[in-house]
Amino acid sequence: MFADKLFVVVANNFFTIISLTIVTYVIQFYINYFNRKSKLPGPLPVPILGNLHQIGNDFPLAAESFRQKYGDLYEFYMGSTRHVVISRADLAEKVWGPLSIKNTKFIMRNAYSEGVDELGLGTRGMVLNRDIESWSFNRKFLVQSTSSPSFLREAIKLTSKVNEEVFKYWRIMEKVGMPISIPDWMDVIGIDVVVTTATGKRMSSTAELFNKLNVNEQKSEIKGMWNNGIKFAEAIFTYNESMAFMMLLSPFIRRNFPGFKSINQKYLDNKTWINDQLEKMISERRKEIENTPLDQPLEPSILTILLTTNTERDLEKISVGKNDQPLANDQLSSILREVFTGGLDTTSNTISYVIYFIAKYRDIYLKIRDEVLKVYGTLDNPNIVLESFEKLKYMDAVIQESIRSFPTISVISRAATEDVDFDGFTIEADTTVYTNLKALSNNPKYFTDPEKFNPDRFLNDKGSMVKYSFLPFGNGVRMCPGRAWAMVQMKTFLIKLVSTFDIELVDKNAEVKYKYATVNRPVDINLHIKARKD
């Protein structure tokens, strides 16, 4: 009896202590919340979760919902961490305007995040790297290597070759009336182009996809040097998806809450698998270079340039500050990984949206075709050269209008290195500030009839466009370093597409659909294709 009574007393006291602890935590949470120095409008957070329960799995949708309720400058919380969202051009100028590291207060992409470090991004690579010296080196390398005319010319040749192979598959599919799933095909085209360009070793993801479709039991005979191309692509997409999850959610929630815990582990296991693949790529190429005589030229792939940087075989003579030594393996892996993560998801998704719009509006499709005919003099296997791209003004306008209408990255972050004033509110140092790019580019104050897909606005009205209302590749010191390469890939594909096929949406009334996974990944863009009719 005594033991039973003692157990009851202890149990009651235990639950009382737990209850008081929880109540104390909740009270302290709201005391801190309501006593914070600079109070912005925004949804009321709850302890531990913050506003996670209101955001769900579609951050851009939640950001727009909050904007409509709280305005163009508001805050939200993930756990106990404050985040700020802006949706006005004058505020965007404060974040994106300065062009030099010394002048900008927003050199960082995000506030410190333990999850970013767990992904190996906090002091490596470029996208989320907070080590400015390391970031500067990586950025210079990527800009210099992916923007040189020689690299872009090779990229055109490789992209054209991959496109021609894909179109052979599409002609077979056309004969049996099989629709084309554009997101699936853009993913594998992207992986073949980017990985092959980056490593010098041919991927065959497009062949893998065609074989998987089993069209009349026909199979591609193309074999790549790297196996499991589609699996690698999916791993890269999963890695990109993990960035928002790891950056926004607190370690406590990720590691302890049912559901989140398993997702957290999946993302960490995926990171490990990608790192293993990168190490294999690097090791194989390093051996090939070591076995190549010094007087024999090397193929100038990105990986080759990485491995020879600051060595006697340096192809590009790249060094920044103290970084004048050959790159260590972790540097090699981080840069190569970001070539894939940055070069795959954004470009393949953007071209998918472009195709959606030009399939929906046939007059625009035909205008692109007319421009291609005018520039190249023929639609029968036009000779695509780098110098001709600047003449494709209308095509460029169509790409820009697609990005404006539905950006692949609709909400993007930067972090303050010191306190900044926004409309009289103080944004403390190391606060992540998100710019709602979609809200900016679809605001009727900045764009006439923003709901209309009108490429002409980038031909006729570009001079009157409000500064910082449209940031397709970002701006300032962290502008996308691979933008030239991305445009080459997209324009090369579009030239080949309009020269070869007529296209239409399977569902002509289909609206843009997407799945949010750090970027807006398109879904259900399906086309009927037919051979071009003159």
Q: Are 256 and 250 in contact (CB under 8 A)?
A: no
Amino acid at 245: F
> Taking Cα atoms as reference points, which of 84, 79, 83, 82 lies closest to residue 25?
79
Q: Are 422 and 91 in contact (CB under 8 A)?
A: yes
Burial (CB count within 10 angstroms: exposed 0-12, middle 13-18, buried 19+), residue 23? exposed
E runs forming strands in 26-149: 73-78, 81-86
> Taking Cα atoms as reference points, which of 50, 114, 101 lies closest to residue 77?
50
Residue owning tokens 């309501």: 34
Residue owning tokens 């606060």: 431
Q: Are 425 and 433 in contact (CB under 8 A)?
A: no
Alpha-carbon span 118 to 268, nearest angstrom: 8
> Taking Cα atoms as reference points, which of 481, 485, 379, 503 lies closest to residue 140?
481
> Taking Cα atoms as reference points, which of 57, 86, 88, 61 lies closest to residue 74?
86
Alpha-carbon span 232 to 238, nearest angstrom: 10
Q: Are 108 and 415 in contact (CB under 8 A)?
A: yes
| Cα 184 to chain centroid, rounded | 16
The stretches of 200-328 forming alpha helices (DSSP H) are 205-213, 229-248, 251-256, 260-290, 302-308
Q: What is the three-class DSSP state of 119?
A: coil
Query: Does the annotation place 480 within a ligand binding site?
Result: yes
Alpha-carbon span 161 to 299, nearest angstrom: 17
Contacts of 61 (CB under 8 A, 6+ apart): 516
Task: Please state the φ and ψ torsions of residue 452, each to the nearest 5 degrees.
Answer: -90, 140
Task: Please state the φ and ψ torsions of residue 363, each to the nearest 5 degrees.
Answer: -60, -35
Residue owning tokens 């790192």: 275
Contacts of 320 (CB under 8 A, 6+ apart): 133, 136, 137, 140
Could you give the dihedral angle defined by the CA atoms of residues 450, 455, 457 and 459, in that order, rounded to the nearest 10 degrees? 170
Residue numbers belonging to the annotated binding site for heme: 480
Residue numbers belonging to the annotated binding site: 480
